[in-house]
């Protein structure tokens, strides 16, 4: 029996990782697809009149086995890729896109959904059921169910091609990140803090090389750019980082990006929209491109002014260091680190020993315990990689979830950090509790040494755990609206809101303890850390907003014939500071080109930040960061609700109103 298709009898019905082999995935997907197709045919051809149960609920349950198989596969393909899994991704992408089109283009099935929609007021549906019916019908219409003839066929072909291109984009980027490294001499190493030396040596071991290397993992290249005094090496590393996906040859993503944008524009046109941005944003809180642009420009103007002030100060440091102006992008982080030390007496090398990975994990568990009553018990179970760890999550003795943390960078893992669910919460067909995964790319320490985080790393840990809470506390009936199945510009609210608890002094006082001495972070250091929270915020905001505005420009109007030229035009019109690069340039902008998730939607982090800053202010105005009444309201109205209600309604239920941009500007230190 294929272990992917069996009923898992492991503890908490975890995937039997020890039994699963790569050769099991293809037959499992084929079998699960056949089963799902048969279920769809049965629903569509049912001679009985359509009911919510025999149509909508049946659809919810039709591909359970397929979800089980793919939940395992795509987690492994992202966190621990190998040539076999990469080949399977290329094989599965068009198959799954075709399956999706078969469902949404099934005229008999859509007819049943339309019949329910037309009689919805007579169906006596619960609020949640009415929402699922609305979203199901909307999804079918937006997928082309109302199209006919050649337009239907063309849309299906576009979706299949986009699935293939997204996979190619991702794999090209992973290949560029995996294949590049820059060796460091002992003299080069001697200029770096101990934690950077350790990370560079560990990276060399991971690559099977001797000595030490810089890789394109953010957890290594960013501290190298901060601390290396060798300007030539910084330039070499930065340019390699910026060139991911644009190195020519078979891993070059520029032609792929061009084709993706053209296909998206054609898709939107077939569906009757003026642009892909209009199509995509229709279902988001923002609703329209102009609303997104307005928000981003309200932030861009003060952020650019702050960045230009900071850039002038950094260039003065560069010149005082005997280097030739102008300040370049590979110089910013280095001189910003020096300036931070001068202004705030804050040194990353002094700070990192207090930010141990294990202690920060304890901190996120403790905070979620105080806020939501959660408890965590370490599990000794087989997982997909030796670096992964698992915990059972309970509340008052009741099992809520299994949480898996996979924290260290490796060549087989795509860059960035993310949260996913191998299994999502639902009640239809029996209570199912989720398996939630946080994946990060922190530098792995040498054997026997504790893993040390930067403050940004620690913030990432809290951020991804906020997503995990959204999954673990989900309490809905239908999987299609479970957990993080919400509008893209709402999904970042729980994650970004949870970051604020890292800044709570009592949390740092308890869990920021020195790796060697065990001593708590000194009060003076803690005060300096918290005082520097908005330091360099002009740079951080400019690099992000520039990427968001380029993304919007790509999709708001006709598709650009040359995305790289379009990117340059947008940045020139903005007056992009010379010494700051986009956070994600087009050839490695995986958020936008690896799939449709954040396409025309990279702005959503900032849209959510408007809410998260305002939501945390509610705690500060109330009983403090651990106000139990507000914590209960946050869970009831946002974390447990999934996509069961429109997001603006959910937020208003929590806060009493919608926020303005003022709280965000104040939180970033950019207010006038």
**How far, in Å, CA of 369 to CA of 396, rounded?**
11
Q: E strands along 432-479, which residues?
A: 435-442
**Both tokens assigned to 610:** 């408007």
Q: What is the DSSP-derived secondary structure letter of residue 480?
A: G
* Residue 39: closest CA among 18, 26, 54, 27: 54
**How far, in Å, CA of 184 to CA of 214, rounded?**
7
Which one of the listed residues 348, 392, 464, 499 is annotated catalytic? 464
84 CB-near residues (< 8 Å, 6+ apart): 22, 23
291 CB-near residues (< 8 Å, 6+ apart): 281
461 CB-near residues (< 8 Å, 6+ apart): 357, 360, 361, 364, 407, 438, 440, 453
CA distances for 150 relative to 96, 101, 599, angstroms: 21, 14, 26
Catalytic residue flag (residue 464): yes
**How far, in Å, CA of 536 to CA of 625, rounded?**
25
Determine contact, residues 401/390, Cβ cutoff 8 Å: no
306 CB-near residues (< 8 Å, 6+ apart): 537, 538, 541, 669, 670
Q: Where are the alpha helices (DSSP H) in 191-288?
A: 194-206, 218-227, 231-242, 254-270, 276-281
Q: Would you call 590 helix, strand, or coil by DSSP?
A: helix
Measured in whole angstroms, how far is the alpha carbon of residue 311 from the centre of its chain?
A: 29
**How far, in Å, CA of 129 to CA of 123, rounded?**
10
**Both tokens assigned to 508:** 């740092």
* Residue 133: closest CA among 149, 119, 148: 119
**How far, in Å, CA of 297 to CA of 546, rounded?**
10
Q: What is the largest CA-CA distance in the chain?
A: 83
Q: Which residues are catalytic?
A: 464
């Amino acid at each position: 029996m294929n272990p992917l298709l069996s009923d898992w009898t492991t503890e908490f019905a975890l995937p039997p990782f020890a039994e699963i082999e790569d050769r099991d995935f293809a037959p499992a997907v084929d079998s699960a697809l056949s089963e799902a197709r048969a279920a769809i045919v049965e629903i569509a051809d049912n001679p009985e009149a359509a009911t919510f149960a025999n149509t909508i609920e049946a659809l919810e349950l039709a591909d359970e086995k397929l979800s089980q198989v793919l939940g395992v596969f795509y987690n492994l393909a992202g966190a621990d890729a190998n040539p076999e899994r990469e080949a399977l991704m290329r094989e599965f992408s068009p198959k799954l896109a075709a399956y999706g089109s078969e469902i949404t283009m099934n005229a008999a099935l859509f007819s049943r959904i339309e019949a329910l929609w037309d009689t919805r007021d007579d169906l006596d549906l619960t609020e949640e059921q009415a929402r699922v019916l609305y979203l199901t019908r909307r999804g079918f219409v937006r997928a082309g169910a109302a199209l006919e003839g050649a337009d239907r066929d063309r849309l299906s072909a576009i979706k299949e091609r986009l699935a293939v291109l997204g996979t190619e984009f991702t794999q090209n980027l992973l290949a560029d990140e995996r294949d590049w490294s820059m060796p460091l001499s002992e003299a080069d190493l001697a200029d770096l803090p101990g934690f950077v030396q350790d990370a560079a040596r560990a990276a060399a071991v991971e690559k099977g090389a001797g000595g030490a290397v810089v890789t394109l993992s953010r957890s290594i290249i960013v501290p190298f750019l901060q601390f290396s005094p060798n300007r030539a090496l910084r330039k070499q590393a930065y340019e390699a980082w910026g060139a991911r996906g644009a190195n020519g040859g078979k891993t070059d993503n520029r032609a792929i990006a061009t084709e993706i944008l053209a296909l998206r524009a054609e898709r939107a046109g077939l569906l009757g929209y003026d642009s892909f941005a209009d199509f995509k944003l229709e279902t988001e809180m923002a609703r329209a491109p102009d609303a997104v642009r307005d928000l981003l420009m309200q932030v861009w103007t003060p952020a650019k002014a702050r960045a230009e002030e900071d850039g002038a100060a950094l260039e003065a440091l560069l010149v005082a260091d005997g280097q030739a102006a102008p300040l370049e992008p590979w110089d910013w982080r280095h001189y910003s680190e020096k300036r931070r030390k001068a202004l705030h007496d804050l040194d990353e090398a002094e700070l990192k020993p207090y930010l141990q990975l294990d202690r920060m994990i304890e901190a996120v568990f403790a905070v979620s315990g105080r806020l939501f009553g959660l408890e965590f018990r370490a599990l000794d179970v087989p997982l997909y990689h030796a670096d992964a760890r698992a915990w059972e999550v309970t509340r008052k003795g009741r099992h809520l979830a299994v949480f898996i943390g996979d924290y260290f960078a490796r060549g087989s893992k795509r860059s960035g950090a993310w949260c996913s669910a191998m299994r999502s919460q639902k009640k239809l067909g029996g209570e199912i509790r989720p398996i939630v995964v946080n994946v990060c790319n922190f530098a792995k320490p040498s054997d026997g040494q504790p893993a040390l985080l930067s403050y940004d790393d620690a913030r990432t840990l809290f951020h991804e755990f906020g997503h995990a809470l959204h999954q673990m506390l989900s309490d809905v009936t239908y999987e299609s609206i479970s957990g993080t199945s919400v509008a893209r510009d709402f999904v970042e609210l729980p994650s970004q809101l949870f970051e604020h608890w890292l800044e709570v002094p009592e949390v740092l006082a308890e869990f920021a303890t020195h790796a060697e001495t065990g001593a708590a972070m000194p009060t003076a250091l803690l005060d300096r850390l918290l005082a520097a929270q908005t330091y360099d915020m002009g740079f951080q905001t400019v690099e992000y907003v520039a990427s968001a505005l380029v993304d919007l420009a790509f999709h708001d109007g006709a598709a650009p014939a040359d995305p790289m030229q379009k990117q340059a035009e947008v940045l020139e019109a903005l007056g992009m500071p010379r010494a700051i690069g986009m956070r994600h340039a087009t050839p490695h902008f995986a958020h936008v080109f690896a799939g449709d998730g954040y396409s025309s939607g990279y702005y959503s982090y900032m849209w959510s930040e408007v809410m998260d800053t305002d939501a945390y202010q509610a705690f500060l105005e109330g009983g403090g960061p651990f106000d139990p009444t507000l914590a209960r309201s946050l869970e009831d109205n946002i974390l447990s609700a999934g996509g069961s209600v429109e997001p603006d309604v959910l937020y208003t239920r929590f806060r009493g109103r919608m926020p303005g941009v003022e709280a965000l500007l104040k939180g970033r230190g950019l207010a006038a």
